[in-house]
Structure formats: C-alpha cells, structure tokens
C-alpha cells in the first residue's frame, strides 16, 4: 500500500468538504421548508424535508464522499477532525495546515455556489438565509452563547471519538463511513435548533460571509468550540477506551495495483473478479 501524493490528498479534502457544505447547507436552503401551490385548496402545500431531511443530508454527504475519496485522504472534510486526530497522534502535524486550507477553500467554494444558485430565484434574499451558524438572536431556537459553546464542544468531541474508534484496525471492515455519517446525522438532529449545527469550522466559514446578518462576527465560536472538542477527544480517547492506536495514521492508502498495470498489459482489458 502507498499513501497518495499530497496534491491528491488535498484535492480529495477540497472535493469532500465542498460536497458536505453544498449538500448539507443546500438541503437547508432549498428543501427544508419548500412550499408548493395546492391547486385543490388554493393555498400552499409543505413539501419540505424539515430538520430530519437536513440531518440526513449532512450524514449522507459524509458517507458518499468517505467511500469515494476516503482511501485518498482519510476523509476528514473538517479542520476540527484533522486537528483532533493529530492530537491523538493518528495524523502528522506537518500535514495539518494543508488539510485545513483545502477544507476551508472547499467550504467557501460551496458557499459561493449556494449563493449564486439561490440568487436565481426572484425575490430571494441571501442575508440570513444561507444556513449559517449562530448563537443568541442568530440561533434558530434563541440559545445563548454558553449553551451553543457547550453543545459544539460536546458534540464535536463525540464525533471525533466515533471517528477514532471506527477507524481502528479491529473495527468491522468497510463500515466506518456509515458509522461516521450516522453519527453526524444524529448530531444534527440534536443541535440544529441550538446552533444550526457546526461541529466543523469549514462548514461554518463556507456560508458565513455569504449569509452575513451577524454570522461573520460569530464565526470565532464555531472555530473555537469544535477544535476544543476535537482536541479533548484526541487527547483522551486512548485513556477512556484503553485502545491505543496512535501508530495508525488516518490517511488515505492506495494499493499499487490500483494505480498502475504491468508492462505490456492493456489497462482497458477486463479484470478477473
């Protein structure tokens, strides 16, 4: 097995984070509260997916991209996750800055795409309507700064605990993306009313500046809290579980035979099962 090149890994992180933000926040922006004309009553019919649908969209975005490019980059798609697994000594600190920059860039590109598409509907006002995170008056349920801070720290810590556990070599093979995606879904079911759910600084940054309405000014919390929660999980996972796998990096690996074929072999020829 070999680790893909750094440009390949960074491209995978960009793509995965883009999809997470675009699909997750896009479901909230375009589909959560969709109203269609009701020709029978003359009123409106609610066809939106609601909180449950948005939570599933975030979870499915991680599942799909983890299966698609997890073998390339390790499928972090989240600066807090990258820092958390580095604290756990499961990822090289020298690779953290590149991962974080790629993740934030992917989130910002997704935010721009959502903003550009949303403007295609006459009368749509992006200000305050691009699924940004917030506390106080910008919290969906009006929750305080302290409540949001505690929620984001706690849920990010649980998220990283799950990631560290399911990527252990003794966990069932092939199910890590499902467990991680379902955990993210559950996290959203708990916290959408509280903070609109971040647990991911790249997700928060990706839409904050296009959303406006106080979101950029509150962005600091959605960097501080997820990173703090992830660092707590990374530092304590092996103490709580007794499972010390700090020698196993959470990075992508590709088998050499999946990259190249032997000399004289037609690469387009059918392969044996």
Measured CA to CA, the distance from residue 139 to residue 52 in angstroms comes to 18
Residues 34/46, Cβ–Cβ less than 8 Å: yes
pLDDT tens string 151-173: 999 999 999 999 999 987 777 88
pLDDT tens string 79-123: 999 999 999 999 999 999 999 999 999 999 999 999 999 999 888
Give the pLDDT score at 123. 84
Measured CA to CA, the distance from residue 126 to residue 67 in angstroms comes to 32
Measured CA to CA, the distance from residue 222 to residue 201 in angstroms comes to 6
Give the pLDDT score at 41. 67
Measured CA to CA, the distance from residue 181 to residue 176 in angstroms comes to 8
Which residues of the chain are modeled with pLDDT < 50? Answer: 273
Give the pLDDT score at 2. 73
Distance of CA 131 to the CA centre of its chain: 14
Phi, psi of 259 (to 5 degrees): -105, -40
pTM, to two decimals: 0.86
Beta carbons within 8 Å of 150's beta carbon, 6+ residues apart: none
Give the pLDDT score at 136. 96
Positive or negative, the CA dihedral 209, 212, 215, 216 is positive
Of 53, 26, 5, the closest CA to residue 109 belongs to 26
């Amino acid at each position: 097995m070999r680790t893909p090149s750094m440009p390949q890994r960074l491209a995978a992180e960009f793509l995965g984070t883009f999809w997470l933000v675009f699909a997750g926040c896009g479901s909230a922006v375009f589909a959560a509260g969709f109203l269609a004309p009701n020709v029978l009553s003359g009123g409106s019919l609610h066809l939106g997916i609601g909180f449950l649908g948005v939570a599933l969209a975030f979870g499915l975005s991680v599942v799909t991209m983890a299966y698609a490019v997890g073998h390339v980059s390790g499928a972090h798609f989240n600066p807090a996750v990258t820092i958390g697994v580095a604290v756990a000594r499961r990822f090289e600190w020298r690779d953290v800055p590149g991962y974080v920059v790629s993740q934030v860039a992917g989130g910002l590109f997704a935010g721009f795409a959502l903003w550009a598409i949303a403007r295609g509907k006459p009368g749509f006002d992006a200000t305050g309507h691009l699924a940004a995170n917030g506390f106080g008056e910008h919290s969906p349920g009006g929750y305080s700064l302290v409540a949001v801070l505690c929620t984001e720290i706690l849920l990010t810590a649980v998220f990283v605990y799950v990631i560290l556990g399911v990527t252990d070599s003794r966990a069932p093979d092939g199910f890590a993306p499902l467990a991680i995606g379902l955990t993210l879904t559950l996290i959203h079911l708990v916290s959408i009313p509280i903070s609109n759910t971040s647990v991911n600084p790249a997700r928060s940054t990706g839409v904050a500046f296009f959303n406006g309405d106080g979101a950029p000014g509150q962005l600091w919390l959605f960097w501080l809290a997820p990173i703090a929660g992830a660092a707590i999980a990374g530092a304590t996972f092996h103490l709580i579980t007794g499972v010390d796998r700090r020698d196993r990096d959470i990075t992508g690996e590709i088998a050499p035979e999946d990259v190249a074929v032997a000399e004289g072999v037609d690469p387009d020829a059918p392969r044996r099962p």
